[in-house]
Structure formats: C-alpha cells, structure tokens
Chain A
Amino acid sequence: MNPYQTYDAKILEIRELTPREKLFTLRFVDSEANKEFKYKPGQFVIVDIRGFGEFPISLCSTPTREGYIQLCVRRVGRMTKYMHTLKEGDVIGIRGPYGNGFPMEKMEGSELILVSGGLGMAPLRSVLWYAIDSGKYEHIYLLYGTKSYEDILFRDEIIHLLKHGDAIGCTVKLAYEVESPSCIYLERGFSPKVCKGVVTDLFRGMEFDVENTYALICGPPVMYKYVIKELLDRKLSPGRIYMTLERRMRCGIGKCGHCIVGTSTSIKYICKDGPVFTYWEALSTRGLI
C-alpha cells in the first residue's frame, strides 16, 4: 500500500458557513473505502487537489454519524482558495485519517470543557457531537470565542444548543468581540451564556470538579496561554488539559520533517505524536506552544 496514494471522495454538499469558511460533506466513491475509514475526534486528513497539492484539514464531523465526513475549510491561500471554487459533485482525493485524536474513551464519565477560538471550532465540533451522541459524558461545556456574529462557525448548531443544549447535557457559552444587533439579540436571549468579550471571560464564575473534568482546547496560538491560566487557576491538572496543535505539514505521517518540534530531550512530530497533546507534554517539550 502506497501511503501517499489518495482516495476519491465526492463532494455531496457544500455549505457556506461564513464568508471565509465552507463546510464540505464528502463520501468516498469506493464503498470499501467508506467502510474502512474509521476515525476519532481530533484526527485529520490530507486533502489532495490532484495536480495542485495537498493540505491537512481536521475532521469536523463525528464518527457516530456514519456515511459521510465533513471538513470545514477556511480560505487563506493557494490551495484553500482553489478548494472553495469546487462544486457539489466534484471529486477530490483524501488520505488519512492521521494523528492521535482525543482520548475519548479515557474521558468517558467525566465533564468535558471544550474551549474554542475561531477555526478551533472545527476539530472540537467533532468532539462535541461525539460526546452528545454517545451520551457517555457527565456534562459538556462549550466555551466559544468568536470575533463577530458573522464569524460564528456552525451558527445554527450553536444557537440550537444555546436553546436546547442543557436538556441533553451540553451548555454552550459564547463570547463575541465585535458588537452588532445580532449579537445583542443573542446576548439578550441567552444571558448569561452569551457576552461581549473574549473566550477567557466565559470562565467567570465557573467552578468544576477537578477530579472529574477534562479540558480540550483548540484555537489560534495566542489563545492557549490565557485559557490555560484560567484552568490552572482552578487547579485543573496539566495532564487533564488537552490541546490540538497546528504546524506546517507535508506528509502527515512522520516522514517530511516539517512538523518536528522540541529540543534534544523531547523531539516530537505533531502529525503522528499529536496533533493532540496534554499541557503536561507541552511543558516538557519546548516550542510546542
């Protein structure tokens, strides 16, 4: 088996989530490939636009819903721009899934605090729906920081969970930075769950059982430091804080060397040792965050 070969996947649906982000729903053309493709929340795939190049994208769908996979792609550069021009029915290449993913089994029975900023919502959406669907987790908190109303990813799902989440064991909290009528409307309707501010403001007044809680963080590099401080202030152990990290990646399978981090005592590959790491691992690996 050639690990660089990619498998045909057909675009079933494209949804524009924001002006910059599109959600692609895909299914492998080969039914065997569909059956064989088993993944965990937090894993990623390499998308192959044949003849143009490849790039890594997190799986944002949940393995509890079979028959399709979903990728949320932000238009930032050459390849992602091209991806945004594709139409429903087009076929692209996919290889993976890669990476370790979140230890979902280990966390069963616990409370999960998902902290997401911006595009970090993509991998955490996989965790969110996995946790809700499986019903194996005590309670799920989603703390989501967004720039503006227009930037909220999976807006319909977020609003749905603001309304009805508590009944299915999921509390969503939303912080926005740019004021707009829509945001004020949300804030009025769902106070105190929605507020103006940044994601760390959502920790205000939050207490949790540190023996029975895991935190899962994904967002832009600057976010980690502040979020981790909030968690450590509440005495959550560094071993219970998980985060998913991003690096330039070429192969996704530990060959191309681009995602190597750490020093002489701690060399790690983000693609195969990660992209999910505990804060403890980050403390013992320089350059991880």
Chain B
Amino acid sequence: MIILRYVKLPSENFEEFFNSLKQWGEINAPVKQGNIYSFKKVDSLKEVSLDYTRTMLPPKKFFVKPRDELLKLKEGKWEESNGTKPVVLFGVHSCDIHGLQILDKVYLDEPVDIYYKKRRENSIIIGISCMPDEYCFCKSLGTDFAMTGFDLFLHELPDGYLVRVGSVKGHEIVWANEGVFEPISEEDLKYFREFEEKRANSFKRSLNKEGLADMLDLAFESPVWKKYEKICLGCGNCNMVCPTCRCYEVCDLWVNAYEGVRVRRYDSCFMESHGLVAGGHNFRPTRLDRFRHRYYCKSYFDPSAGFNCVGCGRCDEFCPAKIEHVKVLDEVREALK
C-alpha cells in the first residue's frame, strides 16, 4: 500500500484512472463549447479539454448554483430541498481552488449554509496544472499554486502526471487504484520544477498589490472611476463569472396552487436594485458607486482568506466593454501620484 504525498500517474494509465473516478461521483470536467469552455458532465476522457485556460463559469456553480432551490413549501411549511449527488470536479485550476476556499470562508462560517456544506462534502476536487494566457494574473496574488483545497492535483510531465495527494479522500482514491500509480523518480521532480519555472515566467500580467487596500481607500474620489463609469455597461457579467462573487437574490415562486419554492439566484452589485431599499432610497445610486464598490469588494484583504480576487482573468475575458481589472487598478494608483 502506497501512502505518499506524491505519486506518478503514467500516461498509459491515465484513462483507466479517469474512468475509475466514476465510482466516486459524476465526473464534471472542462469541455469546449464553441469559443468557450464549460464544466460539464462527461462520460469519457475524449470529451475533456485538458488544455483549457478558464471556463466561463467557475466551479462555484456546483456549490452555489446559478438557480438554487432552497426550500419547498408543503402545506404551509418549508421543507428542505435535497438532491445532493456526489460529484468529481476533474481538471480544476489552482486559482479556482483558491476561489472555492474564499467561498468556504463565507458559506461555512457560522451559521453554516447547509446546502453549500453538503455539496462541498460530496465533491472531489482533482486539480490540474495549467499555463497562463494573456489574462491570467494569479501569480501576483499568490493563488497560482494550491497547497490545500483539493483531493488530488495533477502536474503535467512529459510522460504522465506527478500527482500531489491533498486529502484523506485523495489517499483513498490512490489506494483504490494502486495499480495505476508509480513512485516518482528524481527525473519526474526535475520535470515538475522545470514546468513550474517555465510557467512562472509565462505570466504577462501582474497586479501590484503593494499597499493596494490603503491606496484604493485613498482613491475614493479618483477621476479614474469616473472615466470607467462611462465605459462600463453595467451588465454584471464580471460578477457572474467571478469565482469569488457570491451575491444572491431570493425569490418565492409558485409551482402550482398548493406548492411553492424558495429559490436563490446569482445577483450582481452592478444592478441598480442591489442597494435599493423600500421608500426608493438607494445606497449605491450611480454606476460610479457600483463600479467602485466591486473593485473595493474584490480588493479587500481578509487576514484569514486573502484577497477576494484570485486573478483568474474571467472578468477581463468576458467583459463586453473590454475593461481590464489590473489596468483599472493600475490607473487608479497612477492617478494618485
């Protein structure tokens, strides 16, 4: 029996390993759909695009669903909606693993969101190494490498994967598949280090986080916010795709004359209604307020969870107005000088 933190998965065993994961839950992996990638249920390795950079919706969609039924109304009482099934998220990148850990801070903090907790407990996270594209800036935020938050993490080698085991469940998966793994060699470690070095040097974008929180607080009246207020369309795409955005709206719906459901749905702080209260008072009445609010929220540094942004680049890639997160923050900093 192997009990190791690192094992090797040779290429020829990869498919067998992949198929064996089915016994742990429904496998969801990045699949190419037109121009975008999306985490979807897959049956075979063929369907999976392991060379993806980012999916449009991050894996948060498995834990906080875009439309999430919380409670069912039966004879005037709420019953808990259930239906958590085990899932295996295959091929998650380290920025998204960090994103989930930030969501954990919110949803697993007291009082615990039991829906989120159940889904988290019923999931297996298999991470995979990646190469950055022009949007990625995770390295500058320290989210380019995951030390925790996964069960297994696969690092690409010329002839397979170096696998890091990150949890008890991860060990169990390795045990159950003893035959497909091998011990790692010095050479594998050399390749691993080379890959990491090459990757570290491939980042084109970086966020200057030096004194970021204080700098932004000082820049409350910055003209840069006013410039972007005019460019931003207020569509809220950046919120939808962000792995750490989690605002939700709640709404009761009637299924038929006797049964209703309480549903939550992603909300966005770019919507005018987000800060609106009865009587018509709005705490963030202008797009300027809302644009700035998002940057403040994302740049908040929580001493126990880090920045609320993991540098995944989704908000840049999917912004119809081509607004770039790092550029906005750099300009704000520049204007302060």
Segment of B131-139, B277-285, B315-323 in the binding face: B277-285
Residues of B within 8 A of A1 (CB): 111, 114
Segment of B22-30, B88-96, B250-258 in the binding face: B250-258
Residues of A within 8 A of B197 (CB): none
Interface residues on B, range: 35 or more
Task: Select which of A50, A76, A255 is within 8 A of B107 by beta carbon.
Answer: A255
Q: Closest B residue to A270 by CB, please name it.
A: B283
Question: Does A263 contact B278, Cβ atoms closer than 8 Å?
Answer: no
CB under 8 Å from chain A, chain B span 243-277: 245-252, 254, 260, 262, 264, 267, 269, 273-277
Question: Does A4 contact B70, Cβ atoms closer than 8 Å?
Answer: yes
Question: Measured between alpha carbons, how far is A253 from B217 in the docked complex, in Å?
Answer: 26
Question: Measured between alpha carbons, how far is A16 from B116 in the docked complex, in Å?
Answer: 42
Question: Measured between alpha carbons, how far is A192 from B144 in the docked complex, in Å?
Answer: 68
Q: Is B53 an interface residue (CB 8 A)?
A: no
A286-B114 contact in complex given A257-B269, A264-B212, C-beta closer than 8 Å: no
Interface size counted on chain A using CB atoms at 8 A: 39
Residues of B within 8 A of A54 (CB): 250
Q: Fill in one digit per residue for A234-266: 1 if any B CB lies within 8 Å of its CB, else 0.
A: 000000000000111011011111101111111
Question: Does B277 contact A247, Cβ atoms closer than 8 Å?
Answer: yes
Task: Select which of B252, B267, B279 is within 8 A of A51 by beta carbon.
Answer: B252
Q: Is A197 an interface residue (CB 8 A)?
A: no
Residues of A within 8 A of B80 (CB): 2, 5
Task: Select which of B114, B217, B300 is within 8 A of A3 by beta carbon.
Answer: B114
Q: Is A93 an interface residue (CB 8 A)?
A: yes
Question: Does B212 contact A250, Cβ atoms closer than 8 Å?
Answer: no
CB under 8 Å from chain A, chain B span 75-121: 76-78, 80, 106-107, 109, 111-114
Shortest distance between the CB of B251 and any CB in chain A (Å): 7
Q: Is A109 an interface residue (CB 8 A)?
A: no
Q: Is A171 an interface residue (CB 8 A)?
A: no
A4-B71 contact in complex given A50-B76, A254-B109, C-beta closer than 8 Å: yes
Q: Is A104 an interface residue (CB 8 A)?
A: no
Shortest distance between the CB of A118 and any CB in chain B (Å): 10
A257-B283 contact in complex given A3-B114, A264-B213, A267-B296, C-beta closer than 8 Å: no
Q: Closest A residue to B246 by CB, please name it.
A: A257
Residues of B within 8 A of A260 (CB): 293, 297
Residues of B within 8 A of A263 (CB): 213, 216-217, 220, 296, 300
Shortest distance between the CB of A36 and any CB in chain B (Å): 14
Question: Does A266 contact B109, Cβ atoms closer than 8 Å?
Answer: no
Residues of A within 8 A of B267 (CB): 256-258
Residues of A within 8 A of B247 (CB): 256-258
Question: Measured between alpha carbons, how far is A287 from B77 in the docked complex, in Å?
Answer: 38
Shortest distance between the CB of A227 and any CB in chain B (Å): 18
Question: Does A258 contact B274, Cβ atoms closer than 8 Å?
Answer: yes
Question: Does A248 contact B276, Cβ atoms closer than 8 Å?
Answer: yes
Question: Measured between alpha carbons, how far is A221 from B283 in the docked complex, in Å?
Answer: 10
Binding site for A on B (CB under 8 A): 70-71, 73, 76-78, 80, 106-107, 109, 111-114, 212-214, 216-217, 220, 245-252, 254, 260, 262, 264, 267, 269, 273-279, 281, 283, 293, 295-297, 299-302
Q: Could you list 17 further interchain pairs (A-B, Cβ under 8 angstroms) beyond the known A3-B111, A77-B278, A264-B212?
A: A2-B114, A4-B71, A6-B78, A8-B77, A53-B252, A54-B250, A247-B283, A248-B275, A248-B277, A251-B248, A254-B106, A257-B247, A262-B296, A263-B216, A264-B296, A264-B300, A287-B283
